[in-house]
Structure 1
Amino acid sequence: MRAVVLDRPGPPEVLQVRDVPVPTPGPGDVLIRVRAFGLNRSELHFRQGLAESGSLPRIPGIEATGVVASAPGTDLLEGTQVMTLMGGMGRAFDGGYAEYVLVPAEQVIPFRSALPWEQLGAVPEMLQTAYGSLTVGLQAQPGQSLLIRGGTSSIGLALAVLAKRHGLTVLSTTRRPEARAQLEQVGVDHVLIDDGDLAAQVRHFQPTGVDAAVELVGVNTLRDTLRAVRTGGTVCFTGMLSNQWTIDSFYPMDWLPNGVRLTAYSGEAADLPAHVLQAFLDDVAAGDALIPLGTVYGIDDIVKAHRDMEAGRVGGKGVVLL
């Protein structure tokens, strides 16, 4: 099979497309013929040598979408459409940047859909993270208001789609005024141009602050995001687009406004219920939801894809179609 192999950390050019053996499944394993895989910033971090886990050489990729090729000792039939994500993919064992991927059966989610593979390939990690941030990180309720800090990221766009389906009023940020139309397309109620002082902008629409916020940029904007939330509200720290992950000299009494809660979210395949995935795909097919698909690449374009991720040129969820 053809696969992307990372031998050492470095710039995008260290990603090499090679012919490697197809993995052999054992009892409880699922061999998936990959039809498409999503691109994630965590893979960029792994390639750059910034990740705290994983070993090299490795086929990267924390998610994949395709069909079952073989699944001995399981009830998954050959040809079943499946998605898989996380669980050590692309770090502890070879991941989705390949024509086939081998994963434990417990991290496989079956589904049925006639949507194009490039759209399906965008879904697993994006939907899991957005869904978990709303339900676990924020415990968001219909009628509440939500601030998305980092709204033009793939997770930010997916959050807007899910939040509107859940009956929330959505405020979402971008640093680029030209991205306003993209946010409005996914249903954002109020687009905020991020000037570093969002708390004041938020209170123009929500005088006491929003009920909830998802922080996708990083700790460099977290303090301002906390101040945009009402007393009794919650901020969920989900992403680190800025690559700033830790807070020096963290003093909670200074950082945290009175009564504002700070949580975090990072999930696995088991945190995306099959019925939630199926309902979302059905809604997309019916025109009631959309997948914020960005640029679609081929496997031979993987270096360009990583360059585009670094430069913020993907324009939504990047996908490699096989």
Structure 2
Amino acid sequence: MVRGNVSDLIAFLAVARAGSFTRGAGQLGISQPALSQTIKELEGRLGLRLLSRTTRSVSTTEAGERLLRTIAPHFDGIEAGLAALTELRDKPAGTIRISVGDQPSESILLPVVAQLLPQYPDLNVEISVNNGFVDIVAERFDAGVRLGETLAQDMIAVPIGPDLRMGVVGSPAYLERKPAPRTPHDLSAHACIGMRYTPEGGIGIWDFDKDGRAVNVRVECQLVVSTISLARLAALQGVGLAYLPLDYVEPYIKAGELVSVLSKWCGLFPGYHLYYPSRRQHSAAFALLVDALRRSR
């Protein structure tokens, strides 16, 4: 295959995975018009339309999806092989991109990365904080961090944190105005602080468990936020009750700034895991980070 065809396939792969000519052009470091022309020429040579274009999105046609499934593993293998060459160097090197929520980014990931970077000056880590569900393969992340109960089955999952317990907390001032709830159903009479993890997603459900009895409550929220740091701050300021990981608010509970309620209804669930595709070969740098996170648990 001539060099031009390989470049065209790389261009197609970038657009198909990004779902956007603009984002694909940014990843390749070329202009959007130049990328669009490359795709048109590829489609012309093949005599097939590979991408469906609308004003809002780009998606693969049936032919485009078949081409994507055919070529993507080969290019991934080439990238992995090149990355694996770092094992021949004295120290791991390269860039690792990780998608993670705001709490584990601060409490788990960043402390480990902060210890590694001074020891390995050729290692670069990009931490992308996103509380929604990110397709790490499509977005070209090396790994993601997510709670164990929400992991896809085709991923390798490495526990990097202890089991967690959620809690409902409010300020003493708020609980002076409103009697503390005795059961999850009592939350309907309270001002609750909701979490919407993505703009298009729904408000998070509050999950409870007591003596093996599961109760899922869809609370009515006067205030909705997108990060747990804002939910905690709102609870501290007396806005209402927040549903948060207890380890995240424990210092404020000990200081008397927050009060935990419904504790008998809040059970343990699997903690944070680092996850990544099982089919991908990883570099020495990635293996180093995985091992460090595993040992820090």
Q: TM-score, normalised by structure 1?
A: 0.25
Richer in helix (by share)? 2
Q: TM-score, normalised by structure 2?
A: 0.27
Give the number of the structure with larger relative contact order, counting CA–CA contacts within 8 Å between residues 6 or more apart. 2
